[in-house]
Structure 1
């Protein structure tokens, strides 16, 4: 009995001691982070820069995709996608279980989360780069004033102003929780020197990401990859500690995703994507197909505008910097930097690479913005590595550029210019997108107003919507402003859709007071016009629909009214789309040389 009691006491003491150590590490890391000199100043700088980027989006005042339904009905439905944190937090955000439009407050909250994410990423990268050459890897340090800089914050802007993340920021209701998923993904790296705190925080934050917005699933992967590169290429961590860090991080990630998949998540699918993963029989083929699709979008979404040119220059400077300041021989540093680029870009798509039907909307490509940011932060922080190599502590701690030699000064200035060009390109693109969004909204409202007016005059007054169908072909095409903005950057067309399917026509009509139109009316007949599915609705096929009661035909649309159905055909052709690229590639083999 005494032995049992003694064992229980020792075991309890051991657990208590472990929890105490975890809490001590947790508290110490947070203290070092929040007590960095100028911390709140840099939060404000990041917030201002993000606000500068999304000013045009806020001014556009657009109901973007789901916003139509949420504003008209007040539904949540994030639980359908197992985003339970988003579901419950929205009640506190709106102070009601029925959602109402409170934008731009939600977008301000979103860029607040992004500002913290930017500061965390800059601080974490520089925490590793600026660690004293002789210090132990896990040793705690007094916060240094150079952990955060204005240039570092500017370099971090791709986190939230990546053209792909602009879709997240366009949502009036979803944007805070999408941004929160990014914040969840970067929080663990505050504790990168405190393994006892890093493990539980990493698992909990990965779960948080899964329950807010799963498109951020690639962020933690590429950050672990990048920090592994830093540890191996230019710190005293060594190969063993690097592999332990990456291995522990991978286990944390797998544990979190397994808990989510097998305990929390419920299967769900819709027209754009689903939760079903690749089967073992087609895993390699499906994985490569998803990767090819993803890379195709990344390359073809942009023409040779400032964003693509700056990104390529950034990659070149990253390779040069990695070689020049690496602790290893140049060939190994070159190899490591190339691996970071190849795997970083590829795995930035995250777990979507493993899905049978991954989402390919711009909002699914969050990871590439984080990848771009960490590369940018790295090259503007790299001059510290030269001071390490020269074992010159005075130069290492000096803020004066003049203390560097000519090569270092040229490279540092050039790096700053490249990063500045990239960030400015992103701010320019964001405002160009916001203005195009406003004009597309204006054009769409114009087209919808004409449509509703014609429908109101064409459909018999005695029609009961419960027994009446609307068959829709096509949708509102791009406005002239959007077409022009898409010439060099085809992603603009993908971003500024505002509504992206027949389902949303019901929401638009409801928003304009058309009445209680059953949802099923808009999903009976898909975009593909599948003959088998059309055959199920004989009353909406011209040959079997009965007498043509009325026809409206103008330059914008055609409406054919039958006793129990109205067929709406939108007119117009699109240019500068990915479909156009596919058609060009399909014709390429037919072109004689």
Structure 2
């Protein structure tokens, strides 16, 4: 390799790991190609899939499809405009900006993300091309919404699709979109989980595509697999409500469970890699999550999950409207049920409770799961489906047009509440960015008169920087902002690197036993240093 590129290869271990990881995609693609073209079952299944796909989209008007995609592309852009405008480098973005490989997607087994990133960014290490990645993400959201409404209604209807936008504009999903580099692959992972349901009426096609696209979803962002579970449960409940053949419902559930299990086993046994902490774990957060599996931790994981969701789903009014929509959905679904009302009321409780618990997805069996807002994609789909079926059941009732509109108001206020949160959160990102820049500027100015020729090293101790006071009202209204925002600078945080990189400074962990002399005291920090090694003791 050295002869080919004409120089010594820098960090051959890193490049070997990246190349081997990226090769998972062509290997998986070849396996699919061989099955589809050289096995009888594969040939029949592929032909059946083509036929179903053609039947679905041949009935739709091209103008309706284009209008739908354009409308929701504009909608999602408006919803996320303030976050895009904040131009914030979020968490891992800081490391990727400076070409640090510790956050490589390969280390997390996300080979689709790593593979497509090379083409989207047309470089490696990746060049920051935001907001292009965010525009691509918005486009994928629109296509995902189109597929979702086709799954649930078999028709393209803009008005009926509005409740489903919660899947992508939920306060929890806002963290996914905050990432400049990652957001497109998180959205793509959701898109993959939806595709199999277009073929749900043909069991073999559904099982095959579920396995393929769930594996691809795991290779993009594993948390999205919980979206698949939510769709299975709510589609099954809707079939029961319509008094469809119970045996077919059971077969659908079993085929989904089998597909899901096989897909996760294939990913775990053939494609998953053991994470190497030295590449991606911040020094102060070593082992901050674990992929070890244990049944015993399920109750505690569910308890922690419920508490986080209950406290952080949004402001008080958003919570109220979600609860109102859930109650209306439950009442009207019983009212419209074609089976015994009491039986369906009991069945609904069981299905909805099960859906809520399983909305955490496979994370519920991990010994130390990552319970960050970005992994709650299953919950986003859980609420989106409740909102959708709430509106559908209202429209199917025998109420007057006026009363139908009145009962659907809470659902529409949920969507509006999500948009107002996104703007509030986007403003918080802008304010916090300005405040962090201000704090770092103060530190650099204090260091300036003591810096000599050569590399400059800086570490932090003390307490994390407070949020700027401009955020106080927003944080009180939306507690989730405490989970979403970062305090910079912070003691021994690897996320300090991006700020220091702007000034050609090197961040280091405070590990020197030598007591450095105090150089300067200020309201915000104390500065210690000697021979271009500085320690900042943060005060506020």
Q: Does TM-score exceed 0.5, indicating one fold?
A: yes
Tell me how far 1:205 sits from its aligned partner: 0.7
Q: 1:192 and 1:308, CA in 2 relative to 1: closer, same or farther beyond 3 A? A: same
Task: Name the CA distance, whole Å, in 2 between partners of 1:378 and 1:191.
Answer: 21
Alignment of 1:101-500 (within 5 A): 101-127=128-154, 147-236=155-244, 238-268=245-275, 270=281, 271=285, 273-279=288-294, 283-284=295-296, 286-302=297-313, 305-383=316-394, 385-386=396-397, 405=398, 407=399, 409=401, 412-458=404-450, 461=452, 470-497=459-486
Q: 1:19 aligns with which of 43, 50, 66?
A: 43
How far residue 105 of structure 1 moved from its aligned partner, in angstroms, is: 0.8
Report the alpha carbon displacement of residue 183 of structure 1 after superposing the two structures with TM: 0.4
CA–CA distance in structure 1, aligned partners of residues 200 and 95 of structure 2: 42
Matched residue, 1:395: none
Distance in 2 between residues matched to 1:385 and 1:106, nearest whole Å = 40
- Alpha-carbon contact 1:64-1:172 (below 8 Å) kept: yes
Cα distance, 1:265–1:58 mapped onto 2, change above 3 Å: same
Q: Measure the CA separation in 2 of the matches of 1:416 and 1:42.
A: 22
CA deviation profile, 1:512-558 (whole Å, cap 9, x unmatched): 3224x4xxx33xx6xxxxxxxxxxx4x34xxxx24x42232222222
| Whole-angstrom CA distance in 2 between matches of 1:478 and 1:45 | 36
**How far apart, in 1, do the equivalents of 2:400 and 2:268 lie?**
49
* 1:62 match: 88
User: Structure 2 CA distance, aligned partners of 1:361 and 1:511?
Assistant: 28
User: How many angstroms does 1:362 deviate by?
Assistant: 1.4
1:550 aligned residue:
518
Q: Could you tell me which residue of structure 2 aligns to residue 98 of structure 1?
A: 125
Matched, 1:29 2:53: yes
Contact 2:196 2:206 in 1 (8 A): yes
Question: Residues 464, 207 of structure 1: CA spacing in aligned structure 2 closer, same or farther, 3 A cutoff?
Answer: same
Residues 29 and 194, structure 1, Cα contact 8 Å, conserved in 2: no
CA contact (8 A) 2:302 2:364 kept: yes
In structure 2, what is the equivalent of residue 392 of structure 1?
Answer: none
Cα distance change of structure 1 residues 411 and 104 upon mapping to structure 2, 3 Å threshold: same
Q: Is the 8 A contact 1:151 1:416 kept in 2?
A: no
Deviation, structure 1 residue 447? 0.8
The 3-state SS of whatever aligns with 2:292 is coil
| CA shift in 2, pair 1:124/1:551, >3 Å | same
Equivalent pair of 1:30/1:190 in contact (CA under 8 Å): no
Gaps of 5+ in 1: 1-11, 128-146, 387-404, 526-536, 573-593
Alignment of 1:503-514 (within 5 A): 503-514=494-505
Is the CA contact (8 Å cut-off) linking 1:162 and 1:426 kept in structure 2?
Answer: yes
What is the CA RMSD across the aligned residues, in angstroms? Answer: 2.5
- 8 A Cα contact 1:471 1:565, kept in partner: no
Structure 1 segment 518-533 matched on structure 2, within 5 A: 521-522=508-509
Mapped to 2, the partners of 1:34 and 1:449 lie a distance apart of 59
Q: Deviations over 1:375-405 (max 9, x none)?
A: 111122225655xxxxxxxxxxxxxxxxxx4
Aligned to 1:591: none
Q: Distance in 1 between matches of 2:225 and 2:462?
A: 35
- Per-residue deviation at 1:565? 5.6
CA distance in 2, matches of 1:551, 1:13: 72
For the 8 Å contact 2:458–2:536, the answer to whether it is kept is: no
The 2-side partners of 1:58 and 1:244 are apart by 44
Deviation at 1:450, TM superposition (A): 0.8
Q: Do the aligned residues in 1 keep the contact of 2:243 with 2:339 (CA within 8 Å)? A: no
Q: 2: distance between equivalents of 1:411 and 1:34?
A: 36
Match of 1:472, SS?
Answer: strand
Runs (5+) with no aligned partner, structure 2: 1-35
Query: TM-score under structure 1 normalisation?
Result: 0.78
What TM-score does the superposition give when structure 2 sets the normalisation length? Answer: 0.85
Q: Residue 80 of structure 2 contacts residue 422 of structure 2 at CA under 8 Å; is this kept in 1?
A: yes
Q: What is the alpha-carbon distance in structure 2 between the residues aligned to residue 110 and residue 73 of structure 1? A: 22
Q: In structure 2, how many angstroms separate the alpha carbons of the residues matched to 1:224 and 1:158?
A: 18
Equivalent-residue separation in structure 2 for 1:375 and 1:303 (angstroms): 17
CA–CA separation in structure 2 for the residues paired with 1:379 and 1:234: 15
Work out the CA distance in 2 between the residues paired with 1:350 and 1:415. Answer: 31
Query: Contact conserved, 2:314 with 2:479, CA < 8 A, in 1?
Result: yes
Quick one: distance in 1 between partners of 2:460 and 2:439? 17
> 3-state SS of the aligned residue for 2:293?
coil
Match of 2:107 among 80, 91, 115: 80
Rounded to whole Å, the distance in 2 between the matches of 1:169 and 1:34 is: 33
What is the distance in 2 between the residues matched to 1:34 and 1:552? 73
| Aligned residues between the structures | 492
Corresponding residue for 1:560? 528
In structure 2, how many angstroms separate the alpha carbons of the residues matched to 1:328 and 1:560? 75
